[in-house]
Structure 1
Amino acid sequence: MTGVVGRSVESITGALRTVFTAEQVASADGLLQRRDPRVAVCSVAGLALAVMITRTIAVTLCFGAVTVILARLSAVPLRRLLARSLAVPLVSAVIVLPQVVVLPGDTLVRAFGLSVTVDGVAYVVLFTLRVGVGVALLSLIVMTTPFSAVVAAMRELHVPVALVWVIAVTYRYLFLFFDELQRLVLARNSRTTGRSSLRGGWRDAKRLVGTFLLRTLDRGERVGRAMQARGGARPPSPYSRSRTVDRGDYALVALAVIAVVGSGVVRWGL
C-alpha cells in the first residue's frame, strides 16, 4: 500500500513500537527513579486524580508546571514526554470540539450560521489541558519505573488481579500487533508497482484493516493458549526487590495528598 495512507501507517506503528519498548530513562538517576515503585505509582496517580478533579485552567496549568518540574528532576527529556502525551489530548480535543458551538454563552465568533461561544472554547481548552497533563503524569510512571516494577507494585498494593492482567498483557503484547500491521503493509508494498491514487490507497486500507482484524483475533487466541500452557491461571508474580521508604518517598506522598485535597477545596469549597 503506497501513498499517504501507507506512509502514515508505517510512521505510526514505528513510533508506537518505540514508545512501548523504550525504558532507557528508567535506568537514570532521577527523583522518581529513586522512589519506591509503590510510592511512585500512588503519588503520580494521585497527582493525575487531582488534575481530573480541577475545573479551572489556572490550577491545571499549575499541575502542568509540577509535571515539568518532576520530569526535569527525573532526567526525563521533555521532548520524549511530549511525544508520549500528545496523541491522546489531540484526539480528545477533536471529540469535544463541537462543544464550542453547543455550549451557550457570549458569542466569540459567528460564521456559517454557527456561534462559537466563550464558554465553549474555555471548556475545550480546559478539557484538553486536563487530559494532556493527566496523560503526561501517568507517562512519567512508565518512563521512570521499569514496567515489571510497576506491575509488582500494583500487586503489592492489592490492585484487582484481573486489572493487573489486562495492563500487563496489553503492554507486553501490544507491540506485536504493531509488528503485524507493519508486515501487512510491507507485504502489500512488495506486491504493488507504481504509485496508487488516493482513492486506491483508501481501498487498500479498508482491505488491510479487515485482514489485520482477523490476524489480531488469531494472535490473541494463540497468546491466550500460550499463557495457559505456561501457567496463565496463576496471578502475575513479577520479580521485584523491596526498598526502604525514606523521607523523599514520604514527601512525594504528601505532595500528592495536598494536591488532591487542594483540588477538591478549589472545586467544591470555594
Structure 2
Amino acid sequence: MSLLARVNNSFQDYLLTEYEQSQSTRTFFVFPLFKLLISIFMIVVINQFITTYLVWIGLILLLFSAAIAVQINIKRYLKMLLGLGVIYPIIVGIPLIFITKESIIWSFQIHSLTISVSELGLIGARDFFFRIMCNVSVILFLVLSTPFIHIIHVFHQLHFPKIITTIMVLTYRYFFLFFENLIKILRADDCRRFSKLPFKKRFNHIGTIFSMLLLRSMQRGTKIHRAMMARGYSGEIPDISYKAKLTPTILYVGSFVILNLLLFIIFI
C-alpha cells in the first residue's frame, strides 16, 4: 500500500508541475506537431530498422545527453526511465531467457520440470531490454518537454475524433483519483483486520476489494460528470491554441535530420 501511495503522490506532483517543468526547457516553443511526428518516426525506426543493441545504447545515451542540453528535469527523467524503461523490460524479458530450447548453456531441474537457459534466449532478452528502453527514452523526451495540453492541441489540428481526445484528457486528469480510492479501501481493510487471511481466501478478498473499487469509481465518476455539466460542459474539451517560434523549431528539426543522417551512415 505504501508503494501505491508513493505512486499516487508522484503522479499528483507531476500533474501540478508538468506545465512549469516543460516551460523551462529549451524545446518548449518548438511546434508540437513536429515533436510528435519526429517521436513517432524515431519509434518506427527503432523497432523496424535497428537490430543492433549497440545502436540502441547509443541512442539512449544520445537522448539522455539531449535531455540535459535542453534542460529537461533530469531527476524526473531518470526516475521515470528507471520505472518504465528498466524495471518493466526486465520483468517482461526474463521469460525470454527460458523459452528457446536451442544453444542451451545452462539448465537446472525443479522436481520433474527442467528449466534451460539458452544463448538465443539471452540475446533475445538483451535486445528486448535495450529496444524498450530506447522507445521509453524517446517518449519521455517528448512528454517531459511538451505539455499535455499542447499534444491535445496537435490532435485537434490533425482532426482526431473528439471522443478519443476527450477520453485522453479525462483519463489523464482524473487517473490519480483511482489510486486515491484504492488506497482508502486498502487502509480501511487493514484497520478492520488483525491477522492475515489464509492463502486461498485472499483471492476472494482481493476480488471483493476490486469490486468495491469499481463501485466507488463509478460513483465518483457520476459526481464528476454532474459537476462538469453544472459548469457548462457540452461534451467537448475546449482547445487551447499555441503559438510556436520559428528559430527553435528549425533547430529542432535540423538536429533530427543530422541524427538520421548519422544513423544512415552507420547502417551503410
Using the alignment, how far apart are the partners of 2:227 and 2:160 within structure 1?
24
Structure 1: which 5+ residue stretches go unaligned? 1-5
Residue 103 in 1 paired to residue 105 in 2? no
Cα 1:197–1:42, aligned 2, differ >3 Å: closer, same or farther? same
Shift of 1:174: 0.7
After the TM superposition, which of the residue ranges 63-72 and 138-147 deviates more from structure 2?
138-147
Read off the aligned partner of 2:129 and give its amino acid letter.
T
SS of residue matched to 2:106: strand
SS of residue matched to 2:241: coil
Deviations for 1:89-147, whole angstroms, at most 9, x for unmatched residues?
Answer: 43343234222122244223222222211221121222122222212321222222222
Cα 1:13–1:209, aligned 2, differ >3 Å: closer, same or farther? farther
- Residues 30, 245 of structure 2: 8 Å contact kept: no
Q: TM-score, structure 2 length as denominator?
A: 0.78
- Residues 48, 134 of structure 1: 8 Å contact kept: yes
Deviations for 1:167-205, whole angstroms, at most 9, x for unmatched residues?
Answer: 21211111121222233234445x4476x4475995765
Deviations for 1:27-83, whole angstroms, at most 9, x for unmatched residues?
Answer: 21x332232222222223332332222222112112212210221022223331122
Q: 1:77 aligns with which of 73, 76, 85?
A: 73
- Residues 25, 75 of structure 1: 8 Å contact kept: no
- Residues 46, 56 of structure 2: 8 Å contact kept: yes
- Residues 49, 260 of structure 1: 8 Å contact kept: no
After the TM superposition, which of the residue ranges 168-177 and 70-79 deviates more from structure 2?
70-79
Instruction: Please tell me the root mean square deviation across aligned C-alpha atoms, in Å.
Output: 3.2
Read off the aligned partner of 2:28 and give its amino acid letter.
Q
Moved over 6 A (4+): 260-266
SS of residue matched to 2:105: strand
Shift of 1:265: 9.6
- Aligned equivalent of 1:237: 238
* Percent identity for Structure 1 against Structure 2: 18
- Aligned equivalent of 1:22: 17
Determine which structure has greater relative contact order: mean sequence separation of CA pairs < 8 Å that are 6+ residues apart, divided by chain length.
Answer: 1
- Aligned equivalent of 2:250: 250
Mapping for residues 56-71 of structure 1, pairs under 5 Å:
56-71=52-67
Using the alignment, how far apart are the partners of 1:79 and 1:193 within structure 2?
39
Residue 45 in 1 paired to residue 40 in 2? yes
Using the alignment, how far apart are the partners of 1:39 and 1:228 within structure 2?
35
